[in-house]
Amino acid sequence: MKTAFIGLGAMGYPMAGHVSKSHEMIVWNRTTAVAERHAGEYGTRMAADVADCAAADVIFSCLPTSREIDSVVDALAGRLRKGQLWIDNTSGDPESARETACRLAGLGVEYVDAPVTGGTNGAAAGTLTVMVGGSKEGFARALPLIELFGKKIVHVGAVGSGHAIKAMNNVMLAANIWVAGECLLSLKKMGMDLSVAFEVLNAGSGRSFASESLLPPRLVEGKWPLAFKLALLDKDVRIAAETVHEQHLSTPVMNLVSNLYTAARRDLGENADYIEVLKYMAKMSGEGWEG
């Protein structure tokens, strides 16, 4: 099967690598050097132009937001043909997904939103959790391809549902990171050794993925890698907050989390890692994590 992958970022690069081991693949990335590297590493073919990806039977995309998806759909639209499948692994917004699906359906192209969770480690290992929004037929067609980089793959509903649940997942992640950070900063201020604090908290009922896996390397070992941009998590939380607003629900914590992450993003910049919100949070109290 001829496949195409658009967007070789922290997630797309390894995901495309997995698919390319089983299927012929053409790749496109805004920064050409990355696509060249991918072609060298996996034997994929670099597209001279993004529109060349329209030649594939199945098109994957993994871009920052639904806005960039709209642009690539614009670029490919004139060359798309009936019977193609578009698997969008971006964490996008549900309404845009429905519009894109409608537009592509008009060209005879099936669209599924299939955002992922599991981070760059899960992408490298091919063990991502993938939540798919789309028709039953679209899901059935996408499944064997998604299995090449996914471990837990769930059809969550109609088009847009994948994006909706992904946004809510990331609200829970963002809230957990923030509140765990507040508790650990308090314990640090009281003079407690943070490795001792983690030992207890991670054996207790307050533990979370944040306290178990994300925070200890940063707060105990002082390692702050860039794994997932804060700007992208801020985008996800904002999508969730805007989606529930449209439903006239009252979700004060979600709105607060969105405001905090937006403020942290403004302070830390577009290239900060998501866990760096803790630096912003500590600064709000005139504190830091060093020492």
Q: How far apart are CA 16 and CA 183, in angstroms?
A: 39
**Residue of 42, 57, 75, 119 interacting with ligand NDP (CB under 6 A):** 119
**Residue of 5, 25, 27, 29 interacting with ligand NDP (CB under 6 A):** 29
| Long-range own/partner contacts, residues 48-51 (CB < 8 A, 24 or more apart) | 50/6, 50/75, 50/76, 51/75, 51/76, 51/78, 51/79
Q: What angle do CA 25, 29, 34 make, to 5 degrees?
A: 90
Q: How far apart are CA 238 and CA 222, in angstroms?
A: 29
Please tell me whether residue 161 binds ligand NDP under the rule CB under 6 A. Answer: no
For ligand NDP, the closer of residues 155 and 163 by Cβ is 163
**Residue of 18, 155, 229, 265 interacting with ligand NDP (CB under 6 A):** 229
Q: How far apart are CA 36 and CA 43, in angstroms?
A: 10
DSSP string, 194-233: HHHHHHHHTTSTT--HIIIIIHHHHHTT-----SSBHHHH
- As measured in angstroms, the least distance from the Cβ of 193 to ligand NDP is 29
- As measured in angstroms, the least distance from the Cβ of 70 to ligand NDP is 10
Q: How far apart are CA 13 and CA 120, in angstroms?
A: 10
Which residues lie closer than 8 Å to 209 by C-beta, 6 or more apart?
173, 176
Amino acid at position 74, single letter: D
Please tell me whether residue 61 binds ligand NDP under the rule CB under 6 A. Answer: no
Please tell me whether residue 238 binds ligand NDP under the rule CB under 6 A. Answer: no
For ligand NDP, the closer of residues 11 and 146 by Cβ is 11
For ligand NDP, the closer of residues 143 and 226 by Cβ is 226
- As measured in angstroms, the least distance from the Cβ of 134 to ligand NDP is 17
Q: Report the b/e string of 5-21 with b at 16+ CB within 10 A.
A: bbbbbbbbbbbbbbbbe
Q: Is 289 in contact with 278 (CB distance < 8 Å)?
A: yes
Interface with ligand NDP: number of residues (CB under 6 A): 25
| Contacting range for ligand NDP; rule: CB under 6 A; set: 28-36, 41-49, 78-86, 203-211 | 28-36
Helix axes 94-105, 161-189, angle to 10 degrees: 160
- As measured in angstroms, the least distance from the Cβ of 91 to ligand NDP is 4
Question: What is the x/- site pattern for ligand NDP, positions 81-100, by CB under 6 A?
Answer: ---------xx---------
For ligand NDP, the closer of residues 64 and 194 by Cβ is 64
- As measured in angstroms, the least distance from the Cβ of 291 to ligand NDP is 29
For ligand NDP, the closer of residues 140 and 227 by Cβ is 227
For ligand NDP, the closer of residues 29 and 100 by Cβ is 29
Dihedral over alpha carbons 273, 286, 198, 253 (to 10 degrees):
-70
Q: Which stretches of the chain bind ligand NDP, using CB under 6 A?
A: 7-12, 29-31, 34, 62-64, 68, 90-91, 116-117, 119-120, 227-229, 232, 236
